[in-house]
Structure formats: structure tokens, C-alpha cells
């Protein structure tokens, strides 16, 4: 191939010495540019660079893996021109709560917290303390995304910080006291003289509940998990006798309750324990008692509760503070007033806490997950000023780049009803886009396409299906006009394709024209008219193929069409316009290759194996946010995957996660549990086994497997052993 990218170059001819001499070198790709010959080569793309973000959120990039915590670029929270009407809060401190731990470690499914994937992108953090746009100190609750430097507050869950408190003090209050008041006052109908069992008394909710119960003059029983926590209760709550402090690690607290109440039981139980400890807690209730369940684990797993318990006329209340975020305003306002009333009465006191810096998110989560914490765990995002009222100036946060779309703009996806196209549209929708226009030659063809469109519309997205012919000037102008009616066009993606495969000697002019239509011709027209009609364009992305970059038998016309698109992107990039061509290898889950592939059969295209669609979408952030290259590629190289061998990889992974330094100093026949494997690391190992090595083991099997067994399995043939592929996927 010869690429002439120099306007001053002579017309191509085999008799022209410039070309004749170059072709004698027998190179596959010859590029003439700026009076110099060169070639195209695939080089490794540098890791993504960190950016200064005005608005960023902390989240795991891999669910269940705490080591994947990152600060990610987020949609800019709009600043109001009128501070009096602004709902933006500059976050100074945010708290890590047990629900955050359960979500981050994968023990609690997002569906349990909120329905609909559109709301599940980032669920971590729902408590904060900071300054509003007027500079006033406030604390509050939000449904999610409180692990962020900027927050859109809920005015019904917002409180002014009392003058004696610091913002650090204030960040310990909203969730724990909101939960305790909801439990005791709204659900439990607490009254003076009640007896109350409060589990995990040294925790955040536990301390808040003890403070409130003592304020109401109740007899308080509590449980803790360690002797250190028992000493904390004795020191900080001297009104609770030692005989009223039990063990939360087993069911012995049941005997304590029955002994101290002469077999009567308690009037209320505030429970966060699970399994048999939950059942023992139910048995601790007196006749007419109220059981207040604030944990989600047993509820989410539909753990059975014997009906016999209700013979004592007890009531069971699931106290879900987060359900109030979607409740009517009057319910939220009632809790807001309840918290404010108890602040004014002096019943609410800030809790003890452990504070981590903003770059210690993973450490904060691991610390709380270990169960060692007493009181609250906070993340400090910025230092509080001495002034009570002062306007907070924005402080950029170093974050990993993440592609987000402006909800007021529109996105065009050409060929968006194909397999890859539907997944790309879904990815864009989950990244904040609200106006989508999809081009297709024939419209919606099946029920699945109609279903996906309906789901996006339920998310509040306006989806327009356009049949404009993008291979004509009038069609492209019609398409851009349709899109601009939804909002200024910010993104154009061209995935359209027509395949006319044949060996080169069997190719025809008609085949080349048909293949070039939706790709080369359409991209040239989109380039031409987007320059005029799309002044706010941020993404101009075309999907190319390794058939262009590496070649593939029978796809000369297809490769040529992709090559034309890539040259257009190079020109756009050189002129300071957005332009990106992505050479994909075979995509295995959806699209053309998936349709043609036999079941469980690997297809090699251009020297590449099928790449998972999830992985394709996962790397889109990297490809779209890098600014240096107009042509990038993502593929699973067949030769590399088939020949790679690194037997110790899975063993090394486990050793590193367990903190073991030298295999020679430990017994290879010891189980992983004997090396101190806890439940959190078990979940992480399970996630990594499945993600990187295609290893599927239960938590019980992981705890009981030995290092020697791992070595044996790693050394055995990958087709015969239980673990499947032992090497990380390329």
C-alpha cells in the first residue's frame, strides 16, 4: 500500500522514480508525508494520564476489588448564577458507612439499593459536611456520590452546622443520627423507661443510638466485638453497667439479656447482626417488643424468620434510611425536622472518628471492613477555614479521566442498531447522555432493538431513529439538523458497515463502492458538514478494523474503506479538530463476528481472537481521553495468547494479596485460610480469579485450597484442569 499524504508529491505512477525506488524495498505500508517516506507501526499506548478535575468522584473501577479505587473525572456540577438558589455544596468531609463497604466489596448488589442501571454507576457515599455557595457550613445526606468534591444537595436532607461544631464533627452526624431517630422515634415509638438492646454499640449508629436512648431515659444493653471496644463503652458511656455489655461475635448476649431482665426480654432491639445472631436477637424481645433491622444482608438474601416469634405480639421493622431519598417531600421533611429538634435539645453529639486523607480511600475502606473501627470513618477532602462563613473556592482534584457526555447536547451514532452499536449506545446513556440519534437504513428490525430503545427512554433519554442516508450530502445535512434540534451535537460515532467479502481476484467495482458508502463516503460527508453545523463537537469517532491495520483475507475493499476513514481522522487531528479512529479486532459477544461464529468456536480475524464487549467498552475511556494519536487499536493477538505461558502467575497473585514475601519460608500445604485469609480478601481473590484467569471457585474452595494445589493446577494442561486459562487475558 502507498499512502500519499503530501500535496506537493507527484501523481502516483509505477514509472515515477519516487515511487518505483520506494516499492523496491518491499514494505507492506509506505507513507509519503512532508517529503519523507515512512510507515505505519503498532506501538503500545501509554497508560492514561491523570488530569486536574473540577469535579471528581471516588469509586471502584472493578466491583468487589478495593484495590481498584480511583478518583474519576465526573460531570461538572452546574454552578448557579444566583448563590441564593444554588444547590451545590463544596465537600470538606465525607463518611464511609457500612453500606459503602458492602457495595464496594460486592457483598451487596446495587439492585438492593436502587433500581435501574442508570442510577447504579456510582452508589458510594451518602453523607457529607461542607460549605454551600453562600459560604455557610452545612451537613447533609444524598442518595449517592457523596465521595466527591462537589455535591448537588437535597434541600430536605440539609442542616446548618451548629457553631460549636467543626465540619469534621458534623460529618459524623447525619447518617447515624438519622438512622437512630428513624428507628427509635418513627418506627420504634420510643418512650421513657423502655429497655433497648443496641448491637455494635461502639460503631457509628451504635454510639448515636446509645446517646439517644440515654437521652430518653431508657435502660440500655449493648454488644461489642472486642475487649478494646468494651472498654470504650465503659469509658464513654459510664451509665451503662458492665453487666449490660455483651459479645456481638456469638449468641451469648441472649443469655445476658434474659438474665438481666429476669426472662422478660427487652422492648426494642436495634439490630445489625446477621444469621443465627439475628435469630437470637429476635428471641431477646419481650412481649409486644419492636425489632428494628438496619442491616441489609439478611433482607437482601431473603433469610427466613420463624413465624413463631410473632406469638409474642412483636413487630418487625426494616429501617431503610436510603428509601427516603425517593420518598415524598413530607416524609423527608419530617426526618429533617426530627434531627434539627434533637440538635436543638442537645441530644445529638458528634462521635469519635478516624480520619483518612483523600488519597487514602482504599485504606479507609479496608480499615472499616476489618471491623476495627470505633465510631465513624471519615475522608478529609480539604481543610476547613477558621471563618464561620466564607465562600469556598474550587480546588481541582487529581483524577483519572473518564468520558462523560453533556446531558444538554446530542450524540449521533451511525449504525447504532447493530450488536456493538446497541452496546455503545447503552454505554453512552450510562455516561449521562440524554439525547441520542441513531441512524439505520431500515429502522428497528426486531423486538430486542425495540426493547433497548424502550429501556433508554425509561431512563429519561430521548432516542430518535433516523433513516437519513448518510452516503449523500442531503442525508448528512438532514441528520445533523435532526440532531441539533435535540441539542448541540457534541459527539459523532460512525459504526456503520456493509461487508462484501471476496478474494481480491473476485472483487468488483460494485463491491468497493458498496463497502465505501457507509464508511469512507459517509465519514467524508460527516467531516465536511460537522465543521459547519457542529461548532461544539467534542468527539468524532469512527470504528475501523484490523482488516485495515493488519489485513484480512477477502476484505480488501473493507480495509480500504477503513483506511480512508483513518486518513480523514489524521487530517482532522492535524487541524485541531476532534478525530479518532479505533481499529478493533474481532469482537466475540455481539456484532458481525458473533453472528458468524460457531458456538464455543474461536474465530481468528487479522491475527486476532474475539475480544469481550465488556472489555471493549472498558477501554473506551482510555482511547477517547488520550489526546496524542488519531489512530488507536484494541485487539487480542491470537499468536500471543496461544503461546504465552507463565505458570506461576496465579500463585504469585495470591502470595502478593496475602502479603507473603518468600515461598521458601512457608508451608505449601497450608490452606489459604491458615495464612489469615479474611472475608474481604476472599472476595477480592474470587474476583481476580474470575476476571484475570477465568477461574471459578466458591469462597469455601478458595479458603481451603493450598499453594501446592494451586501450583499443580497451574502446571497442568489448561484444557484439562479445573481452572481453565491460567494466564491473564491479553
Residue ranges of alpha helices (H) inside 160-248 are 167-170, 174-181, 204-215, 227-236
**Contact criterion met (CB below 8 Å) for 379 and 94:** yes
Higher pLDDT, 656 or 511: 511
- Let me know: does 567 contact 560? Beta carbons within 8 Å: no
Work out the mean pLDDT of the chain and round it to a whole number.
87
pLDDT at residue 342 tops 80:
yes
pLDDT per residue as tens digits for the range 613-658: 888 998 999 999 998 999 999 887 765 443 344 444 678 788 877 7
Of the candidates 402, 383, 400, the one whose C-alpha atom is nearest the C-alpha of residue 69 is 400
CATH code for residues 185-323: 3.90.180.10
- If you write DSSP's letter for every residue of 316-329 in order, what string do you get? EEE--GGGGGGS-H
Distance (Å, whole) CA 126 – CA 133: 20
Whole-number pLDDT of residue 81? 46
Check residue 201 and give its pLDDT: 94
> Residues of the chain with pLDDT > 70: what percent?
91
138-147, 539-548, 555-564, 669-678: least confident range: 669-678
Confidence band of 720 (pLDDT split at 50, 70, 90): very low
pLDDT tier for residue 702 given thresholds of 50, 70 and 90:
confident
Q: Taking 70 as the threshold, does the pLDDT of residue 575 lie above it?
A: yes
CATH number of 410-637: 3.40.50.720
From first CA to last CA, the distance across the chain in angstroms is 29
Question: For the chain, which residues make up each domain, given as ranges?
Answer: 2-38, 51-173+350-399, 185-323, 410-637, 644-715
Nearest to 311 by CA among 286, 276, 293: 286
Per-residue pLDDT at 708 exceeds 90: no
pLDDT in tens, 346-381: 999 999 999 999 999 999 999 999 888 899 999 999
Higher pLDDT, 687 or 209: 209
- For residue 309, pLDDT beyond 60: yes
Q: What is the pLDDT of residue 639?
A: 52
Closest CA relative to residue 484, chosen from 412, 579, 578, 405 = 412
pLDDT tens profile 589-618: 665 555 555 555 555 655 667 888 888 998
| Domain spanning 51-173+350-399, CATH class | alpha beta
- Please report the pLDDT score of residue 83 as a whole number: 54
The per-residue pLDDT for 643 is 38
Q: Which of 605, 673, 609 is nearest to 637 (CA)?
A: 609
pLDDT of residue 646: 43
Contacts for 120 with CB less than 8 Å, ≥ 6 apart? 110, 111, 113, 114
Task: Read off the pLDDT band of 723 (50, 70, 90).
Answer: very low
Question: Band of the pLDDT at 122, cuts 50, 70, 90?
Answer: confident
Confidence of residue 682 (pLDDT cuts 50, 70, 90): confident
Instruction: Please state the CATH superfamily assignment of the domain spanning residues 644-715 in this structure.
Output: ACP-like (1.10.1200.10)
437-453 pLDDT, tens digit per residue, is: 999 988 899 999 999 99
Tens-place pLDDT, residues 240-285? 999 999 999 999 999 999 999 999 999 999 999 988 999 999 999 9
Query: According to the model, what pLDDT value does residue 718 have?
Result: 41
Q: What per-residue confidence (pLDDT) applies to 595?
A: 53
Taking Cα atoms as reference points, which of 53, 88, 96, 92 lies closest to residue 74? 53
Q: What tens digit of pLDDT does each residue of 47-83 get?
A: 888 999 999 999 998 888 899 999 999 876 654 445 5
- 124: pLDDT strictly greater than 70: yes
CA atoms within 13 A on the CB side of 246: 25
522: cell is 459517509
- Is 410-637 in the same CATH topology as 185-323? no
What does the alpha-carbon distance between residue 430 and residue 110 come to, in Å, rounded to a whole number? Answer: 15
Amino acid at each position: 500500500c502507498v499512502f500519499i499524504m503530501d500535496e506537493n508529491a507527484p501523481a502516483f505512477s509505477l514509472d515515477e522514480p519516487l515511487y518505483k525506488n520506494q516499492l523496491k524495498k518491499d514494505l507492506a505500508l509506505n507513507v509519503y508525508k512532508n517529503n519523507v517516506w515512512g510507515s505505519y507501526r503498532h506501538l503500545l499506548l501509554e497508560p492514561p494520564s491523570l488530569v486536574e478535575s473540577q469535579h471528581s468522584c471516588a469509586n471502584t473501577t472493578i466491583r468487589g476489588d478495593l484495590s481498584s479505587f480511583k478518583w474519576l473525572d465526573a460531570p461538572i456540577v452546574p454552578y448557579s448564577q444566583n448563590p441564593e438558589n444554588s444547590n451545590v455544596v463544596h465537600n470538606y468531609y465525607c463518611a464511609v458507612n457500612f453500606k459503602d463497604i458492602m457495595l464496594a466489596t460486592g457483598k451487596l448488589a446495587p439492585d438492593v439499593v436502587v433500581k435501574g442501571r442508570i442510577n447504579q454507576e456510582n452508589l458510594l457515599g451518602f453523607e457529607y459536611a461542607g460549605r454551600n455557595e453562600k459560604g455557610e457550613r452545612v451537613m447533609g445526606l444524598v442518595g449517592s456520590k457523596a465521595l466527591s468534591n462537589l455535591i448537588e444537595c437535597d434541600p430536605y436532607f440539609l442542616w446548618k452546622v451548629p457553631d460549636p461544631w467543626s465540619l469534621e464533627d458534623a460529618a459524623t452526624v447525619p447518617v447515624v443520627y438519622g438512622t437512630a431517630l428513624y428507628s427509635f422515634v418513627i418506627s420504634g415509638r420510643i418512650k421513657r423507661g423502655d429497655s433497648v438492646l443496641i448491637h455494635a454499640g461502639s460503631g457509628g449508629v451504635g454510639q448515636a443510638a446509645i446517646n439517644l436512648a440515654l437521652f430518653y431515659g431508657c435502660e440500655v444493653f449493648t454488644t461489642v466485638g472486642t475487649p478494646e471496644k468494651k472498654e470504650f463503652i465503659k469509658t464513654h458511656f459510664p451509665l451503662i453497667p458492665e453487666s449490660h455489655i455483651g459479645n456481638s461475635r456469638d449468641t451469648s448476649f441472649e443469655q445476658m439479656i434474659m438474665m438481666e431482665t429476669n426472662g422478660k426480654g427487652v422492648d426494642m432491639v436495634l439490630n445489625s447482626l446477621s444469621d443465627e445472631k439475628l435469630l437470637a436477637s429476635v428471641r431477646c424481645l419481650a412481649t409486644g417488643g419492636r425489632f428494628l433491622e438496619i442491616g441489609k444482608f439478611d433482607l437482601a438474601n431473603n433469610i427466613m424468620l420463624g413465624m413463631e416469634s410473632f406469638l409474642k405480639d412483636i413487630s418487625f421493622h426494616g429501617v431503610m434510611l436510603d428509601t427516603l431519598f425517593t420518598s415524598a417531600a413530607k416524609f423527608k421533611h419530617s426526618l429533617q425536622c426530627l434531627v434539627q429538634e434533637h440538635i436543638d435539645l442537645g441530644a445529638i453529639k458528634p462521635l469519635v472518628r478516624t480520619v483518612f486523607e483523600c488519597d487514602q480511600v482504599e485504606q479507609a475502606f479496608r480499615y472499616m471492613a476489618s471491623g476495627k473501627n470505633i465510631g465513624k470513618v471519615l475522608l478529609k477532602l480539604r481543610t476547613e477555614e477558621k471563618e464561620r462563613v466564607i465562600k469556598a473556592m474550587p480546588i481541582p482534584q487529581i483524577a483519572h479521566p473518564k468520558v462523560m457526555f453533556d446531558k444538554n447536547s446530542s450524540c449521533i451514532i451511525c449504525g447504532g442498531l447493530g450488536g456493538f452499536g446497541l452496546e455503545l449506545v447503552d454505554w453512552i446513556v450510562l455516561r449521562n447522555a440524554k439525547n441520542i440519534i441513531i441512524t439505520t437504513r431500515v429502522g428497528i428490525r426486531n423486538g430486542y432493538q425495540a426493547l433497548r430503545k424502550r429501556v433508554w427512554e425509561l431512563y429519561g433519554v430521548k432516542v430518535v431513529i433516523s433513516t437519513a442516508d448518510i452516503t449523500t450530502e442531503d442525508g448528512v445535512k438532514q441528520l445533523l439538523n435532526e440532531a441539533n434540534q435535540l441539542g448541540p451535537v457534541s459527539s459523532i460515532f460512525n459504526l456503520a458497515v456493509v461487508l462484501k467479502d471476496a478474494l481480491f481476484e473476485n472483487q468488483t467495482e460494485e463491491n468497493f463502492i458498496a463497502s465505501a458508502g457507509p464508511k469512507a463516503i459517509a465519514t467524508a460527508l460527516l467531516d465536511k458538514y460537522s465543521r459547519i453545523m457542529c461548532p461544539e463537537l467534542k468527539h468524532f469517532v469512527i470504528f475501523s478494523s484490523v482488516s485495515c491495520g493488519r489485513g484480512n483475507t477477502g476484505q480488501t475493499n473493507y480495509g480500504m474503506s477503513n483506511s480512508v476513514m483513518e486518513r480523514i481522522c489524521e487530517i482532522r487531528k492535524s487541524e485541531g479538530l476532534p478525530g479518532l479512529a479505533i481499529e478493533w479486532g474481532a469482537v466475540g459477544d455481539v456484532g458481525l463476528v458473533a453472528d458468524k461464529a460457531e458456538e464455543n468456536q474461536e474465530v481468528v480475524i487479522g491475527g486476532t481472537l474475539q475480544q469481550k464487549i465488556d472489555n471493549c467498552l472498558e477501554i473506551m475511556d482510555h482511547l477517547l481521553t488520550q489526546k496524542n494519536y488519531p489512530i488507536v487499536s484494541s485487539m487480542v493477538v491470537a499468536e500471543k495468547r496461544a503461546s504465552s505461558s507463565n505458570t506461576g502467575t496465579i500463585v504469585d497473585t495470591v502470595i502478593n494479596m496475602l502479603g507473603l514475601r518468600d515461598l521458601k519460608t512457608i508451608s505449601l500445604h497450608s490452606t489459604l485460610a491458615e495464612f489469615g485469609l479474611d472475608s474481604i480478601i476472599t472476595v477480592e481473590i474470587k474476583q481476580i480469579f474470575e476476571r484475570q484467569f477465568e477461574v471459578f471457585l466458591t469462597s469455601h474452595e478458595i479458603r481451603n485450597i493450598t499453594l501446592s494445589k494451586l501450583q499443580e493446577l497451574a502446571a497442568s494442561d489448561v484444557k484439562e484442569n479445573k481452572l481453565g486459562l491460567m494466564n491473564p487475558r491479553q
